[in-house]
Amino acid sequence: MKLKSGFLILALAASAAFTVTHMGVSAVSPAAAESEVAGPKVTSFFLDNGMQVVVIPDRRAPVVTHMVWYKAGAADEPPGKSGIAHYLEHLMFKGTKTTKNGEFSARVAAIGGQENAFTSKDYTAYFQRVTPEALPEMMALEADRMENLVLRQEDILAERDVVQEERNSRTENNPGSLLREAMGAALYQNHPYGIPIIGWQHEVNSLTKDDAIAFYDRFYTPNNAILVVAGDIDEATVRKLALETYGKVERRAEPGERVRPKEPEPRAERRVRMSDPRVRTPQFQRLYLTPSYYTDENNEAEALEVLSEILGGGTTSRMYRELVIGQKIATQAGAWYQGGSLDATEFGVYASPRGGVKPAQVETATEAVLAELLENGVTQQEVDRAAKRLIRSSIFTQDSQSTLARIYGGSLTLGSTIEDIQNWPKKIGAVTVEDVNAVARKYFDIRRSVTGVLLPQARQPKNEG
Amino acid sequence: MSDMIVKKTARRIRNLAAGLGMAAAAQLALPGAAYAVDIQTITSDGGIKFLLVEDYTVPLIALSFSFNGGHSQDAVGKEGTSELLTNMLDEGAGEMDSKSFQEALDDNGMRYRFSAGTDKFSGSVQVLKSDADRSFELLSLMLTNPRFDEEPIERMKATRMNSLRAEQTNPQSIAAKALRETLFDDHPYSRPGNGTLESMEAITRDDLIAYHKNVLARDNVVIGIVGAISPEEAAKVVDKVFGKLPEKANLKPVPDVTPAIGEEKAITFDTPQTVISLALPGLKRDDEDFYAAYVVNYILGGGSFSSRLYEEVREKRGLAYGAYSYLATYDSTGFTGIGTATRAERAQQTVDVVRNEITRLAEEGPTPEELEKAKKYIIGSYAISNLDTSGKIASVLTAIQTAKLGTDYIDQRGDYIGSVSLEDTKRVAKRLLDAEPTIITVGRASE
C-alpha cells in the first residue's frame, strides 16, 4: 500500500464518522467530490410528511444503494449522555413491533445484500446495497424502524458492552486516538464537537434504554430525514415506493432548528501533551478553529480547501517538500481541512518526526512553513494546481454510486442543495491567490489553535506522598 | 478527500489477513454470480494477453494488473523489498527525478496504487479518458523505467522504519507476527512482508533493481481493463505500459507448506483490549473442496452480520465489536483464521466461546437451513460487492486470471456454489475445523 495516501487517512481518522455494526467508514467531506457537468442527473422531491427524497441514477450494474440520513449526530446529544447517538445507531438493528432482533440484517443477508450504518457529529445514516428487486423490501423495513423500534433490556446491555469494545478497539488501544480525543476537547471550548462521537467511557457505561428512546423520539422522524437512492432505478419507481413506505410514517417530532452552543472567539493558545509507553513514534499535530462550508462567508471554505492542498496535500505540498524532503526531519507531513461540518470546524497540520528527531523540531519547522506562507503568500501556479487536482477528483466519484450517495446524503443533511453540490467544482475553480492568502492570514492565528504532542515514554510520576 | 481513501478505510476481514503480511484481497474472497459482464479476451500486437470490459458510461478507464511475486520473493535479510518497491515506482522515472515526476503525476491527475501481498505484486490505476495518453505514458515509465534515486530510497526507508517502530506496540501487528511465525516456522511465509528495522535498513538500490527485474516481467503478469476504451486502443495501451518489460521473470520457488496447528502463544502486553487470533487447517484456491469451504467459512464467521461467531460472541454476549473467520489461501498453503478482541478479563471466556463454535460446526456441520441461506448470500452478494465500479471489475478480471478460472467464471460461479451439498459441508467442516487450533493472544496477563 502506498504510504503517501496514508496522509489523507489520518485526515479522515480525525474527521467524522463511526460505523456500527462492523467497521469504520469515514465521512466524505461533502464538497470533496462533486460531479462535473457530465455527472448523473440527480433529482429530488419531498413527501407530504416532510421527508426529502433524492435519486441518483447509475444504470451500469443491477445494484441500488439505499440510504436514510437523519439530521442527528453526536453533537445533538443531551449533556451527560455522550455516545447516545452512536449507541442508538447500534440498537436500531434490534427489532421493531413486527420484526425480531436481527431480522432486518438476516433479510439483507438472505439476498446477498450489504448493509451498515454510521454516526458522525452531525448525522447518522443507515444503508443497504441490494439488487433493484429487493429495494421495496428494504424501504419497507427501513421505514418500519423509523417509527416502530422496540428495545428489550437484555439486548440493550449486551450491545452496550459491544460499544465499549468498539471504543476499546478504536480509542483505548491506540494512544494516537487518545491524543486526538484530548485535542478535540481542548479545541472546542463550548461546542459539543469537543465530545467524542463514541462517547466518554464513563458516560457510555451508564447509558440506558430510556436515553436511547428519548433520542430516537426526538430525532427519528421523516421530517428530519433524507432518503437517497442511487443506482439502477428511476425516479418514478422510487417515488411510488417512497409513497408506499416512508410516505406512511407520521411526523413523530419537530426537532426544529439545529442550534448548538457557539464557540467564543478563541483567546488562548492551548497545548495537549500525552506520553504513553506504547508510543514508539512521536507525533505532532496542530488544529486551528476555522469556519466550515456551512458557517463561512465569501466562500472561505473553498479557499481553505485549496489552502490545505497547497500546504499539505501529497508529496508536492509545502509541508512535505520542506519537512520530509528538504530538512529530512519528518517521515510524513501534511494538512487537512474538515469543511463538512454544520458548525465551526478545524484545519489541521501534522508531522511525524524521523527517528531521533524531537517533536519540537518538527513543530518549529512547521511554524516556519506557515510563517513563510503568511509572509509571501501562495503562488498562482500553486492555486491552479490545487484547484485542478480537487476538481478532477470529483470526476472519479462518478464511478461509484455508493460514494455519490454518501456525498449527496452528507451534504444535503448539512443544508446544501443539489445545486450547491454540483457547483462545487466551479467554486473551487474560482478561488484566487488573494482568497487563499486571506484565509491563511485570518485563521493561522496561534490563539485559535491547539497543539498536540504524543511522546513515547511515560514521564516519571510525581511523588504524591 | 477522495473516494479512494474511503475505500481503503472501509477495510475489514481482508485487511486482517493482509495484516499478516499475506493474501491480497482477491485471494480471499472470490468472484461469482449470474450477471452479464461482457469480457473480451485480447492479445496485443506485442503478444500480451489481457481481459477487457468496454463501458462508456463514465469518462474513465480502470486498469488492474498482478505479477506473481510479492513478499515471498524478497531476498533473505532484505524483507520489505517488495513493499519498498510499491513506494519507489512513482519517485522518479525516465528523465524525471522525484520532484518532476510527482509534479507530472499531479498535473495528470491519474489515480494509482501499487501493493505487495504474500505471493503477488499488484497495481490498479484509474485514468480520465481525456488524459489517458499521458496517464499511460506515466504508468509505463513507473513500471518499466523507475530511477531508484538515493534520496527517495532513503526517505521512503525512513518512513517505513517509522511504521515498523509503530508496529512493535500495535497489538494487532504483534498478534499477526506471532501467528505467522507460529504457523510457518522457517518457511518464507513466516517472514515479515513489511520487513524489520534491520532488514529495511539493509535494503539497497541494487536490491530494488534486482527485485524489479526478477518479478516485473511479461510472462508473469495478468491484466484487466474496464471502461471507455476500444479493444484496439486497449491493446495499444497494454503494449505501451507492459511491452518494454523483460520477457521472462526469474522467481525463486516457494515450497508448499503445512501450517503448524495446535500451538498456543500468550503474549503479555499492557493494553486495555486483548487481541485474539486463531488458526486451523485450510486449503488452497485450487482445492476441489474450495467452494464447500467457502460456504463453511461463511457460516462460521464470514461476511454478513448473521454468522455463528457474530451471533455467539457479539450479539448474545457482547464480548466483542467484531468476531469473524476467513479462508487464507496462498499459492503454497492455506489456513482458516479466526479473529476477535475483548477486554482482558473476558479473554478466556471469549476463546472458550469461539472454540465451542469450532467444535460444534466440526462435529455437526451446518443445518440445511444455514446451508441454503449461505448459498443465497454468497451467490447474491457477488455482483453487489464486486461488479458495481469499473475499478472493482478490473480487479475481478485479474483475479480470474490469477486463479486460472476462465472468463465464464462470473456466469458459472453461482453453479459452483449452488452445487455444494450438505454432505460436502459436513465433510469439509471436519477437514478444516476438527483440530486443536493455534491460539495467539496479545494483552494483559490473566489473573
Interface list for A 226-255 with B (CB within 8 A): none
Q: Which residue type sits at A331?
A: T
Residue tagged active-site, from A34, A89, A142, A382:
A89
Which of B4, B107, B109 has its CB closest to that of A5? B4
pLDDT of residue A313: 94
Which of B58, B156, B303 has its CB closest to that of A398? B58
Taking residues B261-273, report their average pLDDT: 96
Which of A11, A101, A112 has its CB closest to that of B379? A112
pLDDT of residue B9: 24
Q: Assess B59–A contact: CB distance below 8 Å, yes or no.
A: yes
pLDDT of residue A447: 98
A8:B151 CB<8 A:
no
Cα–Cα distance for residue pair B189/B118, rounded to 1 Å: 7
Q: Quote the strand ranges of A232-325, DSSP E.
A: 270-275, 283-290
| Distance to chain A for B381, nearest Cα, Å | 4
Indicate the pairing of strand B334-343 with strand B273-281. antiparallel
Interface list for B 322-351 with A (CB within 8 A): 322, 341-343
**If you search the block for the grid coordinates 485479474, which residue do you land on?**
B398
**If you search the block for the grid coordinates 519540537, which residue do you land on?**
A360
Q: Assess A168–B contact: CB distance below 8 Å, yes or no.
A: yes
Cα–Cα distance for residue pair A295/A74, rounded to 1 Å: 19
| Distance to chain A for B363, nearest Cα, Å | 25
Q: Which residue type sits at B13?
A: I
Which chain A residue has the Cα nearest residue B393?
A61
Which chain A residue has the Cα nearest residue B305?
A105
B1:A33 CB<8 A:
yes
Q: Which residue type sits at A252?
A: R
pLDDT of residue B33: 34
**A chain contacts of residue B270, beta-carbon cutoff 8 Å:** 277-278
A1:B86 CB<8 A:
yes
Which chain B residue has the Cα nearest residue A59?
B57
**Which DSSP string corresponds to A366-415?**
HHHHHHHHHHH---HHHHHHHHHHHHHHHHHGGG-HHHHHHHHHHHHHHT
CB burial readout B39-78, b (16+ within 10 A) else e: beebebeeebebbbbbbeebbbbbbbbbbbbbbbbbeeeb
**If you search the block for the grid coordinates 513515547, which residue do you land on?**
A456
Which chain A residue has the Cα nearest residue B298?
A109
Report the length, in residues, of chain B.
447
pLDDT of residue A458: 61
Report the length, in residues, of chain A.
465
Interface list for A 392-421 with B (CB within 8 A): 392-393, 395-403, 406
Interface list for B 365-424 with A (CB within 8 A): 373, 376-385, 387-391
- Region of A418 on the Ramachandran plot (φ > 0 left; ψ -120 to 50 alpha; else beta): alpha
- Contacts of residue A360, defined as CB under 8 A and 6 or more positions apart, other chains included, come to none
Cα–Cα distance for residue pair B175/B279, rounded to 1 Å: 12
**A chain contacts of residue B294, beta-carbon cutoff 8 Å:** none
Q: How many CB pairs under 8 A join A and B?
A: 247
| Distance to chain A for B42, nearest Cα, Å | 23
**A chain contacts of residue B378, beta-carbon cutoff 8 Å:** 112
pLDDT greater at residue B18 or residue A98: A98
Which of A12, A316, A389 has its CB closest to that of B5? A12
The ipTM is 0.88
Q: Assess B447–A contact: CB distance below 8 Å, yes or no.
A: no
Cα–Cα distance for residue pair A419/A416, rounded to 1 Å: 8
- First-last CA distance in chain A: 50
pLDDT of residue A394: 84
CB burial readout A15-28, b (16+ within 10 A) else e: bbbbbbbbbbbbbb
Q: Assess A8–B contact: CB distance below 8 Å, yes or no.
A: yes
**A chain contacts of residue B303, beta-carbon cutoff 8 Å:** 109
- Contacts of residue A74, defined as CB under 8 A and 6 or more positions apart, other chains included, come to A82, A83, A85, A86, A119, A120, A121, A192, A195, A196, A197, A199
A226 within 8 A of A412, measured Cβ to Cβ: yes
pLDDT in tens, B346-373: 999 999 999 999 999 999 999 999 999 9
pTM comes to: 0.90
Backbone angles phi, psi at B273, to 5 degrees: -115, 130
pLDDT of residue A395: 86
Cα–Cα distance for residue pair B85/B65, rounded to 1 Å: 15
Q: Let me know the angle formed at the C-alpha of A47 by A46 and A48, rounded to the nearest 5 degrees.
A: 120
Which secondary structure element, helix H or strand E, spans residue A58, and what is its range? none
Cα–Cα distance for residue pair B153/B208, rounded to 1 Å: 9
**A chain contacts of residue B273, beta-carbon cutoff 8 Å:** 165, 168-169, 172-173
3-class DSSP assignment, residue B139: helix
Cα–Cα distance for residue pair A27/B1, rounded to 1 Å: 10
pLDDT in tens, B164-214: 999 999 999 999 999 999 999 999 999 999 999 999 999 999 999 999 999
Q: Which residue type sits at A180?
A: R
Told to judge if A89 belongs to the known catalytic residues of this protein, a careful annotator would answer yes
- In order along its 465 residues, chain A shows pLDDT tens digits of 222 222 222 222 223 333 333 232 233 333 333 333 357 899 999 999 999 999 999 988 899 999 999 999 999 999 999 999 999 999 999 999 999 999 999 999 999 999 999 999 999 999 999 999 999 999 999 999 999 999 999 899 999 999 999 999 999 999 999 999 999 999 999 999 999 999 999 999 999 999 999 999 999 999 999 999 999 999 999 999 999 999 999 999 999 999 999 999 999 999 999 999 999 999 999 999 999 999 999 999 999 999 999 999 999 999 999 999 999 999 999 999 999 999 999 999 999 999 889 999 999 999 999 999 999 999 999 999 999 999 988 889 888 999 999 999 999 999 999 999 999 999 999 999 999 999 999 999 999 999 999 999 764 555 443
Cα–Cα distance for residue pair B331/B360, rounded to 1 Å: 30
Burial class (CB in 10 A: 0-12, 13-18, 19+), B95: exposed
| Distance to chain A for B272, nearest Cα, Å | 6
Distance set, CA A45 to CA A139, A228, B198 (Å): 16, 11, 61
Q: Assess B256–A contact: CB distance below 8 Å, yes or no.
A: no
A8:B1 CB<8 A:
yes
pLDDT of residue A272: 98
Supply B168's cell numbers. 512493535
Supply B424's cell numbers. 460436502
pLDDT of residue B57: 87
pLDDT of residue B36: 63
Cα–Cα distance for residue pair A329/A351, rounded to 1 Å: 9
